[in-house]
Amino acid sequence: MSHIIARLHSQSYLCLSMSIQKSSCSYFTFNITSRSYSRQRTSRQTLPADPRTNVRYPYVKGDPIHEDAIRDRKNNNSLSKLKDKDKETDYRKKESMKEHSDVMRTDSHFDSGLKYEKIMDGDIRLGRTILAAKSSQSKSTSDTILLEGQRLIKDALLLGAQAKSIYFCDPTILNDLPHHLLKDVGLYKILYRDMKIWSDATTPAGILGVFQKPKQGEAICSAETTLPITVIFDSLRDPGNAGTLIRTAAAVGCERIIATKGTVNLWDCKVLRSAMGGHFSVPIYTGLSWADIPNYLQVNTQVFLANTWQSSTLTSSFDKKLRSEDLDEELNKGESPDTESGSESDSELEEHVTTKDIIADKNATAFQKVPFSVCEYSDIFISSNTDKASSSKRHGTTSIVLVLGGETEGISKLAKKFAYNYYGQYVSVPMNISVNSLNTSIAGSIILYELRKKLLALESAKQIHRN
């Protein structure tokens, strides 16, 4: 009898456990189905149920379905917390940026006592100022230029250039600048990563300055000795060569620099960096046509065309069959009739070419291969001018014009036509046969210093003669 009762108990236990397993499996099947259905409908509306808190069905540790449900719930909870934290961080950052843009944060440099403003990350004033300075450098009507580097900014301040604002990363960089010239200048401390964004250099120097641009033909700092030398850039396109020649012309003491149309913008950042403050020591005229250049020169002017090639290469390009009568006829044609109403505005760029310029270039075709006399730079002869009305005001000698073209293009036909009208000649620098040509800035610097040497010697001889 007891054996029968025990068997009945075991059968009932088995049925009960099977029913529990069935109900458990149906429960989790329902949960899995409902979870996938809710994910398809919305991504974050409901989280999977935690089987450990379910009072109706027991939690079986180690069950893969239970463990997956617990793991999914944990991941969803941590993801939602991270998203909420990111939202809070973004909100605080926006509030901080708004606060910094409304309220000026100032500090003082402990060594110099200069007060400066800290521009925080995200402040739009930095970008606006630098963009305005950079974009204005490509226009002739701009009134600001951008200088980069401690030495360049220091030289510009000492020469008398007017600074509007200076941006730096480390306040100690202000120690080497003249403090008495920075009292009315806006000083701003910025982050180094912002400096890397706005700097044109591969490795930023850590300081940028926005300065007032000198007017056309204005020299902020007058040179101690000014020689009657005018340097003309004939479609010189390399910014490094242009900046180096401006620096050399300022060191020599040239009277002026003229840039024709087609020349690189002489107020570009790269040209300013190469010139190292030379822009403020010599008058600069930009965007002039060859028809306007004689208005800036004296009647009795010696014109020299700088030759960067081998002398044999130069002379082989001459057309010796050209007759002077034909060239004089082309010269007397003059400029083409003005097809535009009025003169060109001052806002035109150096590279802007009008219909008048195109016709003038066409009329100068005959002068492309015109033969000129060629001499070495050491054999240059400077004539002594006895006509007081046309002589230079400072030295009583004939004024000199040195025309410099690009290393690849050379001297243009318009420049040759201009030189033919003034009985000009080529000046070459001797070089070995293995070297085809010299850099324009190097050849121009050699010739300029030779002209300086001869002009000073001529002036010294005149003073001895007077005594």
Q: What is the pLDDT of residues 52-101, one digit of tens each?
A: 777 676 777 778 877 777 777 777 766 666 666 666 776 666 665 555 44
Q: Which residue has the higher pLDDT, 112 or 290?
A: 290
**CA of residue 226 relative to chain centroid, distance:** 31
pLDDT band at 114 (very low <50, low <70, confident <90, very high): confident
pLDDT band at 465 (very low <50, low <70, confident <90, very high): confident
Residues 384 and 243 in one domain: yes
Q: Helix, strand, or coil here: 286?
A: strand
Residues 203 and 309 in one domain: no
390 within a domain of the structure (yes/no)? yes
Distance CA 306, CA 375 (A): 10
Distance CA 465, CA 444 (A): 32
Q: What percent of the chain has pLDDT over 70?
A: 65
**pLDDT at residue 214 is higher than 90:** yes
100 within a domain of the structure (yes/no)? no
Distance CA 438, CA 429 (A): 8
Query: What's residue 385's pLDDT?
Result: 61
Over range 296-322, report the average pLDDT: 77
**pLDDT at residue 390 is higher than 50:** no
User: Using an 8 Å Cβ cutoff, are 267 and 280 in contact?
Assistant: no
Residue 455: CA count within 13 A, CB half-sphere: 25
Highest averaged pLDDT of the listed ranges 10-24, 107-121, 272-286: 272-286
Among 20-34, 210-224, 446-460, name the one with the lowest average pLDDT: 20-34
Q: Which residue has the higher pLDDT, 301 or 316?
A: 301
Residues 402 and 459 in one domain: yes
Distance CA 161, CA 151 (A): 14
Q: What is the DSSP pairing of strand 115-118 with strand 106-108?
A: antiparallel
Residues 421 and 456 in one domain: yes
Residues 169 and 315 in one domain: no
Distance CA 99, CA 120 (A): 10
Highest averaged pLDDT of the listed ranges 16-25, 127-136, 138-147, 445-454: 445-454
Query: What's residue 188's pLDDT?
Result: 93
| Length of the chain, in residues | 467
Residues 248 and 331 in one domain: yes
Distance CA 312, CA 65 (A): 93
User: Using an 8 Å Cβ cutoff, are 137 and 269 in contact?
Assistant: yes
Closest CA to 286 of 249, 257, 247: 257
Q: At what angle do helices 413-421 and 324-332 cross, to 10 degrees?
A: 100
Name the phi and psi angles at 400, rounded to 5: -120, 140
Q: Count of domains in the chain?
A: 2
Residues 302 and 416 in one domain: yes
Query: What's residue 163's pLDDT?
Result: 95
Q: Decide: residue 90, CB within 10 A, 0-12 exposed, 13-18 middle, 19+ buried.
A: exposed
* The domain boundary residue, chosen from 212, 245, 267: 212
Among 45-49, 155-159, 256-260, 374-378, name the one with the lowest average pLDDT: 45-49
Residues forming beta bridges with residue 426, ordered by sequence position = 305, 374
pLDDT in tens, 344-373: 333 334 445 566 666 666 666 777 777 888
Query: Domain residues for 154?
Result: 115-212
- Please provide the distance, in angstroms rounded to a whole number, between the alpha carbons at the two ends of the chain: 157
| SS3 of 126-193 | HHHHHHHHHHHCCCCCCCEEEEECHHHHHHHHHHCCCEEEEEECCHHHHHHCCHHHCCCCEEEECCHH
CATH number, residue 289: 3.40.1280.10
pLDDT in tens, 401-413: 999 998 888 899 8
Q: Read off the pTM.
A: 0.69
Residue owning tokens 């057309």: 319
User: Using an 8 Å Cβ cutoff, are 308 and 422 in contact?
Assistant: no
Q: What percent of the chain has pLDDT over 90?
A: 36
Residues 369 and 456 in one domain: yes
Residues 250 and 362 in one domain: yes
Over range 442-461, report the average pLDDT: 94
59 within a domain of the structure (yes/no)? no
94 within a domain of the structure (yes/no)? no
Helix (H) or strand (E) holding 449: helix 440-466
Greatest C-alpha distance within the chain? 157
244 within a domain of the structure (yes/no)? yes
104 within a domain of the structure (yes/no)? no
199 within a domain of the structure (yes/no)? yes
Q: What is the DSSP pairing of strand 163-168 with strand 207-212?
A: antiparallel
Residue 165: CA count within 13 A, CB half-sphere: 16
Closest CA to 405 of 232, 200, 202, 204: 232
Token reading at 110 = 């402990």
Helix (H) or strand (E) holding 455: helix 440-466
Residues 199 and 296 in one domain: no
* The domain boundary residue, chosen from 184, 212, 240: 212
CATH number, residue 142: 3.30.1330.30
Residues 164 and 286 in one domain: no
> Which residue type is seen at 256?
R
State the DSSP code for 277.
Answer: T
Query: What's residue 266's pLDDT?
Result: 94
**pLDDT at residue 126 is higher than 90:** no
* The domain boundary residue, chosen from 180, 212, 244: 212
Residues 374 and 426 in one domain: yes
381 within a domain of the structure (yes/no)? yes
